[in-house]
Amino acid sequence: MGALMLAEGGTFQPPGADSFVLPPIFGGVTKPMVLVVLSAIIVGAYFVIATRNLKLVPSKGQFAAEFIYEFSRNKIAREQIGAKDFRPFVPLIFALFTFILVNNIYGIVPFVQFPTMARIGFPLALMLVVYLTFHGVGIKRHGLVGYFKHVMFPPGVPKPIYVILAPIEFLQKFIAQPLALAIRVFAAMFAGHLMLLVFTLGGEWLLLEATAGFKPVSVVAFAFSIALTFVEALIQVLQAYIFALLSANFIGAALAEEH
């Protein structure tokens, strides 16, 4: 979670962005790098083990694995991409949802307590995968010229309006929407973890360093940190879902016959 930061004289210094910059464990390898690799292993191992001996009456592990897969397949990929085109993209949507979910949940796991999506490089890398996918399938479906026409010139709009609308649509589809996809999960994980740090480290400082009259306030700070942990858990799941949902939506929009 990071060391308790105290200035000279015992004044509490609240945690900031530097709390997310962790020193290398060895060589140039940092904790977030290790956690990202570990999350891929966790996801892969869990679903291999849970589906190794499938039963008609599933165990709890098999039921959870099937539920997550069915949710990714039917509630995200199928609904957003469409029944005609969704099947080839189920593995991608499923992988995005589960991978981001594990990396987000790290933020409330004891002794780990670091959501790797709070480092902007990781959401940007995932965004790049989605970016290349939905523009790639759009170009394959409509052709290069046809795809730009599909993106920039929605039907039913008076032609003079295209002078203003076409650049806006281009910026939205090629820059704004993809960046928002990455920034959304990054900002949620960064802000949530920072709030947990403030209340946890603040409570620790009040308990250990503050004058006797302020020590009871530490109980309030710790209570807030516990409550925020539950809220953060909900947000972590929601952000994984939203990232996968919007990714599927972008793919569906790129494949659609009409804008």
Of 31-45, 63-77, 110-124, 150-164, the one with minimum mean pLDDT is 150-164
Which amino acid, 102?
Answer: V
Both tokens assigned to 39 = 């999350």
* Of 105-119, 212-226, 232-246, highest mean pLDDT: 232-246
Answer with the residue of higher pLDDT: 161 or 214.
161
pLDDT(205) > 80? no
Q: Is the pLDDT of residue 259 over 70?
A: no
Averaged pLDDT, 6-13: 55
239, pLDDT greater than 90: yes
What percentage of the chain carries pLDDT values higher than 90? 58
Note the pTM of the prediction, 2 decimals. Answer: 0.88
Give residue 256's pLDDT band: very low, low, confident or very high (50, 70, 90): confident
**Range 100-105 average pLDDT:** 96
Task: Pull the structure tokens for residue 173.
Answer: 């589809």
pLDDT for 20-41, tens place per residue?
Answer: 888 888 888 899 999 999 999 9
Scored b (16 or more CB within 10 A) or e, 170-197 reads eeebeeebbeebbebbbbbbbebbbbbb
Cβ–Cβ under 8 Å, residues 194 and 171: no
pLDDT band at 43 (very low <50, low <70, confident <90, very high): very high
